[in-house]
Structure 1
Amino acid sequence: MVSVLLLGQAFAQTKKLSKMNQTAQSEHYTFQLNDKVTRQKVTFKNRYGITLAGDLYLPKDSSGKNLAALAISGPFGAVKEQSSGLYANQMAERGFVTLAFDPSYTGESSGEPRNVASPDINTEDFSAAVDFLGLQKNVDRERIGIIGICGFAGFALNATAVDKRVKAVATTSMYDMCRVTSKGYNDIVTPEQRSKTLEQLSQQRWQDAQQGTPAPSTANLPQKLQGNEPQFVKDYFDYYKTPRGFHPRSINSNGAWTMTSSISLMNMPILTYIKEISPRPVLLIAGEKAHSRYFSEDAYKEAAEPKELMIIPNAVHTDLYDKEEDIPFDKLVDFFIKNLKKP
């Protein structure tokens, strides 16, 4: 009986520790909350009925004020406890109401199956965040902007083009996920290679249908570096797979996109209407040494005035995820103060 009692106590203690570990993981952020900012968990729905999870950051002295607001998401495959939360934290310290959110099918947001990307739904996610911000009592709904990071920078531009409530948009380390998925880095994929990939993905749909669940992509970060990887892969690994930026819910840290997510990305160009952002302003920020720099430069060429391209000296793509000495927060503040001013 004593043995049974001790085993029961041990099991209860193990269960308690397991629950504590899960809670610790759930509450893990890759940055420290600023002491001038409050953070609260929120949920809201997009027009597809998917419940999105976000963190709302408020300046502590915001009571009774009517403030400008920013919706923030990205990078592609990240969660709100990583880069987007860091941006939200920093911009809230500087006087903005900010919302960092997990896109549909990822992180703490709903949507089944998990880890699905969609250029349409992920664009809609930004507009849903604008819905939410515009209903907050301390937000001036005529002064809402968005920030997109990495792959969600492209979706942010797409959302701004179609959603006239967004008054200004800024991007950092921008990726056009549709372009890179369809054409590869620097557009090196041939039409024949694209056709072959689509043939394979089309056949994969039958396999997924038979299995009853979508297969994960195999194009993921390695669990361990061999040393011969391209530098940008090493940079991603250094962020997502190390304590610097690891989060258990991040797809890039601890999972994989579904293989067939590529289909819609390859078929729906998201920057077709980038000129229609005008006369609202666009700020594109990229690292001088970023492998992705050409996405921002090309978007800048296609966008109409007012527009601005800012290149950060010596910075690589992932430096603009979390290296506060490289992220031009003062520039972002000036940009949004100027362009989200009261009518």
Structure 2
Amino acid sequence: MWDKIFPKSDKVIVERVSYRNRFGISVSADLYLPCNIDLSKKYPALVVGTPYGGVKEQGAGLYAQTMAERGFVAIAFDESYNGTSGGEPRRTSSPEIFTEDFSAGVDFLGTRPYVDRDRIGAIGICGSGGFSLKAAQVDQRIKAVATASMYDMSRVTRNGWMDGMTDDERRQALVVLGEQRWKDFENGLPEIPAGFPSTPQQTIPQELDPITSEFFEFYAMKRGHHPNAPAAFTLTSGMAFMNFPLLNYIETISPRPVLFIIGENAHSRYFSEDTYEQAAEPKELYIVPGARHIDLYDRTDMIPFDKLTDFFTKTLG
């Protein structure tokens, strides 16, 4: 049964796979192969991460399928504790383990007989853009990285939107999270806030702020809704993000290339613009005219797949 938000392509072969990361957690992924693949040859490959709160049946799968149509082997995976991947407690968000999940994808791809382990790249969408860059800072096997609508989840958690959180506000937030840890310990399970509705909605509530409204449009409406993606994590997950900078060694990815793709009208574009300035060459910032943040999740008329294909064809050889 096809359970994804995008149509199935007749140009690819899709297989559900799983593999363990170095923490022993089983990572669930969809493997996309070109339908004309010659298993006696070796191909370039891509690890594709989901938007923060999303699952492989949404944007990540669309990217992986499209890149497989263009001759790449690609996997789209669910982060540990989420989707159909393993890990307890459920819906935990961990910057370290989500970063590790990219390297685990490289482990898997690099041991396939039809993959050239010297030609493996990564694509990170939204929050996984930051995780893919974090992985590449230490995992030299990742030869090139592209991000789309990148979010630095550590920065936004620690500093608030547009870095507007004060030191006092941050301290108070940490006091609240500390209290929450006691509650979770006594209850035996971490508290998870309400996510987006479990069934697709017809309209966007008027009381939502513009950014939440945009995410509601994708996660809570027919456009991108998936039952495995409530886009909510345990409350105490925020402590790790406040204490775990994602992009503190961004310049060390060089001389491996990085491509940052952002929408012209994306509320999140400052993450990519700032990170682009901090990164070392070779690097490129590519702006999609008219696109918002979520448009690079699923809008095939806006996602620059030709640019991605050209980038990875050149950088992976």
Q: TM-score range, shorter-chain basis? A: over 0.9
1:106 is matched with: 82
Match of 2:174 among 171, 177, 198: 198
TM-score, structure 1 normalization: 0.89
**1:77 and 2:22 matched:** no
In structure 1, C-alpha distance between the alignment counterparts of 2:41 and 2:294, rounded to whole Å = 35
Residue 42 in 1 paired to residue 21 in 2?
no
Does the Cα contact within 8 Å between 2:219 and 2:230 map onto a contact in 1? Answer: no
Match of 1:251 among 196, 205, 230: 230
Alpha-carbon distance between aligned partners in 1 of 2:186 and 2:261, rounded to the nearest angstrom = 44
Moved over 6 A (4+): none
Q: Which runs of 5+ in 2 are unaligned?
A: none
2:118 to 120, 142, 145: 142
- State the 1:221 CA deviation: 4.4
Deviation by residue 1:61-120 (Cα, 9 ceiling, x = unmatched) = 112221000000110111100000000000000000000000000000000000011111
Query: In the aligned structure 1, how far is the partner of 2:25 from the partner of 2:189?
Result: 19
Segments of 5+ residues of structure 1 without an aligned counterpart are 1-23
2:142 match: secondary structure: coil
Let me know the Cα RMSD of the aligned residues: 1.2
Query: Which residue of the partner structure matches residue 161 of structure 2?
Result: 185
Matches within 5 A, 1:171-250: 171-217=147-193, 220-221=195-196, 225-250=204-229
SS at match of 2:186: helix
Corresponding residue to 1:33 among 1, 5, 8: 8
Contact 1:221 1:233 in 2 (8 A): no
Distance in structure 1 (CA, Å) of the matches to 2:116 and 2:174: 45
Distance 2:77 2:113 in 1: 19
Report the AA paired with residue 225 of structure 2. F
Instruction: Identify which of 287, 295, 312 aligns with 1:319.
Output: 295
Contact 1:149 1:174 in 2 (8 A): yes
Query: CA separation in 1, counterparts of 2:114 and 2:46?
Result: 13
* 1:120 and 2:99 are equivalent in the alignment: no
Q: 2: CA distance between counterparts of 1:180 and 1:120?
A: 16
- Is the 2:260–2:276 Cα contact (8 Å) retained in structure 1? yes
1:57 alignment partner in structure 2: 32
Distance in 1 between residues matched to 2:189 and 2:3, nearest whole Å? 29
TM-score normalised to structure 2 length: 0.96
Larger Rg: 1
Answer whether contact 1:173 1:292 (CA < 8 A) is retained: yes
**Quick check: 1:72–1:146 contact (8 Å CA) kept in 2?**
yes
Q: Once the two structures are aligned, what percentage of the paired residues are identical?
A: 53
Matches within 5 A, 1:270-281: 270-281=246-257
Deviations 1:265-295 (A, max 9, x none): 1111010010000000000001111110000
